[in-house]
Amino acid sequence: ASGVKGIALNHENENVGIVVFGSDTAIKEGDLVKRTGSIVDVPAGKAMLGRVVDALGAPIDGKGALGDHERRRVEVKAPGIIERKSVHEPMQTGLKAVDSLVPIGRGQRELIIGDRQTGKTAIAIDTILNQKEMNGKENETLYCVYVAIGQKRSTVAQLVQILSEANALDYSVLVAATASDPAPLQFLAPYSGCAMGEYFRDNGMHALIIYDDLSKQAVAYRQMSLLLRRPPGREAFPGDVFYLHSRLLERAAKRSDQTGAGSLTALPVIETQAGDVSAYIPTNVISITDGQICLETELFYRGIRPAINVGLSVSRVGSAAQLKTMKQVCGSLKLELAQYREVAAFAQFGSDL
């Protein structure tokens, strides 16, 4: 009766478990619940560029209604093997440490992982800002979708300001499900952002999507699952928390030439606790993605920023997409850095003696 929409997640013999997208304060016992007969969908298209929307695609930036757009389902199957092509074009981040040592290709999924306050979001934002140079060439344009999950409203407002001051909002979409939003919206936001990014991928364009961060989505999903009385597993997460992230990240792909040759590149962010990369959610997402950029607090405080631990960071498919000139310059760099670390560790013994 209050007009709030929800999604049915549990179908029991006696009841149906529904999570509500919005405030539950207007809902009371005895209210009439009707089926809409439709699946959750969000607006997508070039009209979304420069806008800030919530997890359901409703604008929250005070700039009025959205322009001409189509609607896309938030949950769709990822492209099959035949529809894909191996990653071969570079996605320049504009950060030397990344582009030289852990190169990212268009259609790749590269995880950004690290403790809090190690500059994970900074890498993602810099990547968006640095596309401004590349986006002058029409066929190379990389549209950016930034999904903020469970962040403070002040942080999101600050981000909008940074992007608009740099004129980077012109090719970006922001999807925000802030910390004060209900868990179902924080759970839905990444899928909504992905549907918006898929519009570009399926129409022969290139897009980049940043999920900041997926740890908070997993926490929101855990909250929903426990309230729905689903059995908890490791760290009280539900059994299908792996599928939660895998079905999302599999949708980032490089399309084959027959299907338009578009691409969707994903940069998911995961926050670790005290550098524990072997916790449940971090190991899950590391196994789903095509490599990771590991950030360390110690390096950050030593003034090495971006605080990338080159030894732990890998890119599993990016080297195929790296520019030939960059490959020539950086070919021996990883080996030299590894040798440097070996000697540096050995030199410590010298000072101890």
Return d(Cα 293, Cα 108) in angstroms, integer.
13
CA angle 57, 131, 286 (to 5 degrees): 70
| Strand pairing class (142-149; 314-315) | unpaired
Which stretches does DSSP call E strand in the chain? 5-11, 16-21, 41-44, 52-53, 70-73, 111-114, 142-149, 172-177, 206-212, 263-271, 291-294, 314-315
C-alpha span between 286 and 138 (Å, rounded):
33
Provide the token pair at 80.
Answer: 């099959």
* Residue 305 annotated as catalytic: no
Phi, psi of 141 (to 5 degrees): -50, 130
Active-site residue, from 72, 247, 316, 341? 316
∠ at Cα 312 (311, 314), nearest 5°? 95
| Residue in the structure block whose two tokens are 């549990």 | 10
Catalytic residues: 316
